Copies of this chain bind each other. A is one copy, B any other.
Amino acid sequence: MISQAKLTHALEGVLVPGARRDVVKMNLVRALSASGDKVSVVIAAVALPPPAQEWLKSKVEEVLKGEPGVKTVDVKVIAAKPAEVNVVGKVIAVMSGKGGVGKSMVASLLATSLQREGKEVGILDADITGPSIPRMFGLSGVKPAGNEDSIIPVLSATGIEIMSINLMLENEDEPVIWRGPVVAKVIQQFWQDTLWGMLDYLIVDLPPGTSDAPLTVMQSLPVAGAVVVLSPQQLAAMVVRKAVKMAKKLSIPVLGVVENMSYFQIPGSKKRVEIFGTSHLAEMAEAAETTLTVQLPIDPKLAALCDDGKIEQYRSKDFDAFAKALSTAKVRQA
């Protein structure tokens, strides 16, 4: 009797071409059965050009034939769309209303912390006109694989799936001069036409403001909750309150609040300077109806890691604890 679990385990050794994640994690195994010494498997060929489909088919056959007791393997490859195979646990939107408070950095740190906990994580960069995620992860110039209909996300150094408009541009400095409805369409495509596979978390990095892009994400993606980012400036707090109210209007719970650039630790001293003013974190948490908060200091090291595409190397116990608490918060499933 051939064990189904063993067959599945064997298939975990088959990487999807261009994805660096295996067929099981990408949820491409649509059926798997064994009868006597014969194994039948159905593979969904999502986002794969014909040569990659052929390669995948023969690789699956080879791996399964290597299992004890298996004599014949019947591999059937079927066409499917990403939306048919994607299984995303929770969609978490990182929002801020105000730009430049470190929203993309927080989205990246959140993905990194959750990934370190053993979760499967992806990031959808919904900031179409100011995309920062690929740079944070050192992915400038990397192009995603895919076919005409579908895209395979790019994998970061530690294994986080990433999709961003900047991965699609010839030159990352190229401006995307699109009006709102086009921007909204692209975000929907990033959600529907990307082969995310099986993920525990999809972190969505929203652009600043309360117009098309955040609206599209909140209305057309099954957002479980939002993380709100602000800086200590009162002015930022005012604009961020707009974002909190927007989330409320759209019935999206705020799961936690991150205050970035809270203080600057003078090098070689224990003195902290509140460069951007005193904290509004407690007040904002109250407005957002959450008790989960964390502060991030102004840290030249962190700024350098962001610039060098090495955000995954940053460690903060406080932030890890924040991410862990966030992951256990009760929210609706995607």
Report A's interface with B, CB cutoff 8 A.
97-102, 104, 128-132, 135-136, 172-181, 183-184, 207-212, 215, 231, 233-236, 238-239, 241-243, 245-246, 249, 264, 266-267, 273-277, 298, 300, 303-304, 306-307
The answer on a CB contact under 8 Å between B234 and A97 is: no
Do A242 and B275 contact each other (CB < 8 Å), given the known contacts A100-B101, A235-B135?
no
Chain copies in the assembled complex: 2
- CB-CB nearest in chain B for A306: B235
In the A-B complex, the 7 residue pairs with the smallest Cβ-Cβ separation, listed nearest first, are A100-B100, A99-B99, A180-B180, A129-B209, A175-B242, A234-B307, A175-B246
Do A212 and B180 contact each other (CB < 8 Å), given the known contacts A130-B239, A242-B129?
yes
**Could you say which of B128, B173, B245 contacts A211, with CB atoms under 8 Å apart?**
B128
The answer on a CB contact under 8 Å between B277 and A304 is: yes
CB-CB under 8 A from A276, the residues of chain B are 300, 303
The answer on a CB contact under 8 Å between A179 and B212 is: yes
CB-CB under 8 A from A132, the residues of chain B are 235, 238-239
CB distance from A231 to the nearest CB of B (A): 8
CB distance from A279 to the nearest CB of B (A): 13
The answer on a CB contact under 8 Å between A277 and B300 is: yes
The answer on a CB contact under 8 Å between A98 and B245 is: no
The answer on a CB contact under 8 Å between B210 and A209 is: no
The answer on a CB contact under 8 Å between A180 and B177 is: no
CB distance from A121 to the nearest CB of B (A): 21
CB-CB under 8 A from A303, the residues of chain B are 233, 275-277
Interface centre among A208, A242, A266 (most CB of B within 10 A): A242
CB-CB under 8 A from A277, the residues of chain B are 300, 303-304, 307
CB distance from A314 to the nearest CB of B (A): 14
The answer on a CB contact under 8 Å between B175 and A129 is: no
**Could you say which of B135, B172, B176, B242 contacts A176, with CB atoms under 8 Å apart?**
B242
- CB-CB nearest in chain B for A173: B241
Q: CA–CA, A300 to B179, complex, Å?
A: 37
Interface centre among A181, A184, A210, A267 (most CB of B within 10 A): A210
Q: CA–CA, A183 to B215, complex, Å?
A: 13
- CB-CB nearest in chain B for A250: B177
CB-CB under 8 A from A235, the residues of chain B are 104, 132, 135-136, 306-307
CB-CB under 8 A from A233, the residues of chain B are 303, 306-307
CB-CB under 8 A from A242, the residues of chain B are 129-130, 173-176
The answer on a CB contact under 8 Å between A177 and B130 is: no
CB distance from A234 to the nearest CB of B (A): 4
**Could you say which of B135, B174, B274 contacts A300, with CB atoms under 8 Å apart?**
B274
CB distance from A228 to the nearest CB of B (A): 13
CB distance from A54 to the nearest CB of B (A): 38
| 13 CB < 8 A contacts A-B | A97-B130, A100-B231, A104-B235, A132-B235, A173-B238, A173-B245, A175-B243, A179-B211, A180-B211, A183-B211, A212-B212, A275-B303, A277-B307
